[in-house]
Amino acid sequence: MTDETAQPDRAVILVAEDDPVTAKIVVYRLSRDAGMDVIQVADGEAALDVAAHRTLAAAILDIRLPGLDGLGVLARLRQSARHQRLPIIMLTSLGTETDIIRGFELGADDYVVKPFSPAELVARLHRLLRRRRPTDPA
Amino acid sequence: MDASSPIDPVFLSDLHEAGGDELVQDVIATFAASVPPRAAALQQAATAGQVMQVAAAAHAILSAAAMVGLVEVEMLARTLEDRARGGTLPPAHAPARLAQAVEEGIGSLQQLARQLRGGGGVPAEAGP
């Protein structure tokens, strides 16, 4: 698990992505360019563990995670009162429209298709953060 | 971009613009450390007839390749993933071809990184 040094005035973003290349690019852009604290995990169970113990401003979930996949994580988060309004963006691949639809049905706020522009991802995240408030502290 | 080029240079160029040579080298190193083992795992899974493991490895490879613009690797991996998710193992030569494309792709990334470091911007084509 990657946990960028937390600072109290910075938004904490959970990134669940098992591909190290994608994770490195996303973490870099969010932490260096967008000034966010990022906690990166590589599987669904770890994502739920982070969500249970940290106050998050938003989550970015890859749909194809090993074990509990991103849609499973999304469903579990939305079952929790704490995370019903948490901004969540799904990462998906071309040709997975059914996953995208299922994601929206489960309560995803947005999605991006790989390969995506990291700048676009940051812009979409900022848009969601302007609309939502962070989750309540644990 | 030349349609026959194995790499779309825009992706690495964007990374260079965002984080300079340090980020580019870091991402290439991450790709070189993580993707060839996945290609080897895919070959082993194909030999063992483990179709879902083939699909999982192919998906991981295409995800990484797509994010750095290795379009040929992405296309080959996507074909294998689609076949595997349909329950079909790849043709005998396909996993080795993918592994070869991954190695060639790493060379293309390193070559493009050198061009970017030299201030050449996005070349019209980038290949091994």
Q: Is residue A138, in this structure, part of any structural domain at all?
A: no
Q: Is the CB of A35 inside 8 Å of chain B's CB atoms?
A: no
Q: Is the pLDDT confidence value at A131 over 60?
A: yes
pLDDT reported for residue B121:
62
Which of B56, B59, B67 is the closest to A25 by Cβ? B67
Q: Is residue A74, in this structure, part of any structural domain at all?
A: yes
Do B105 and B44 form a contact (C-beta atoms < 8 A)?
A: no
Q: With bands split at pLDDT 50, 70 and 90, how would you rate the model's confidence at B122?
A: low
Domain count of chain B?
A: 1
Q: What is the CATH number of the domain that holds A17?
A: 3.40.50.2300
3-state secondary structure of A54: coil
Do A100 and A90 form a contact (C-beta atoms < 8 A)?
A: yes
Averaged confidence pLDDT in chain B: 90
Q: Is the pLDDT confidence value at B126 over 60?
A: no
Phi/psi at A14 (nearest 5 deg)?
A: -90, 125
Query: In this prediction, what percent of chain B has a pLDDT beyond 70?
Result: 90
- Residue range A74-90: mean pLDDT, rounded: 96
pLDDT reported for residue A121:
94
Q: Are B27 and A33 in contact (CB < 8 Å)?
A: no
**pLDDT per position as a tens digit, B82-103:** 999 999 999 989 999 999 999 9
CA distance A60 to chain B (A): 16
Q: Is residue A24, in this structure, part of any structural domain at all?
A: yes
Q: Which residues on chain B are in Cβ contact (under 8 Å) with A22?
A: 63-64, 67
Q: ipTM value, please give it.
A: 0.86
Q: Are B34 and A20 in contact (CB < 8 Å)?
A: yes
Q: Is residue B124, in this structure, part of any structural domain at all?
A: no
**Cα nearest neighbour of A29 on chain B:** B18
**Top-confidence residue, A95 or B106:** B106
Averaged confidence pLDDT in chain A: 89
**Top-confidence residue, B104 or A136:** B104
- The boundaries of the domain holding residue B80 are 9-116
Q: How many contacts does A have with B, using Cβ atoms within 8 A?
A: 58
Phi/psi at A13 (nearest 5 deg)?
A: -115, 130
- What's the rounded Cα separation, in Å, for the pair B42 and B53? 7
Domain count of chain A?
A: 1
Q: What is the CATH number of the domain that holds B61?
A: 1.20.120.160
Q: Are A21 and B64 in contact (CB < 8 Å)?
A: yes
**Top-confidence residue, B1 or B115:** B115
Tokens 């998050």 locate to A56
Q: Is the pLDDT confidence value at B118 over 50?
A: yes
Amino acid (one-letter) located at B20:
G
**pLDDT per position as a tens digit, B31-63:** 999 999 999 999 999 999 999 999 999 999 999
The residues, any chain, with a CB within 8 Å of residue A30's CB and separated by 6 or more, are: A13, A15, A36, A38, A122, A125
Q: With bands split at pLDDT 50, 70 and 90, how would you rate the model's confidence at A138?
A: very low
pLDDT reported for residue B100:
97
Q: Is residue A137, in this structure, part of any structural domain at all?
A: no
pLDDT reported for residue A66:
87
Q: Is residue A60, in this structure, part of any structural domain at all?
A: yes
Q: Is residue B39, in this structure, part of any structural domain at all?
A: yes
- The boundaries of the domain holding residue A34 are 2-131
Which of A33, A114, A119 is the closest to B67 by Cβ? A114
Q: Is residue B47, in this structure, part of any structural domain at all?
A: yes
Q: Is the pLDDT confidence value at B127 over 80?
A: no
**Cα nearest neighbour of B55 on chain A:** A64
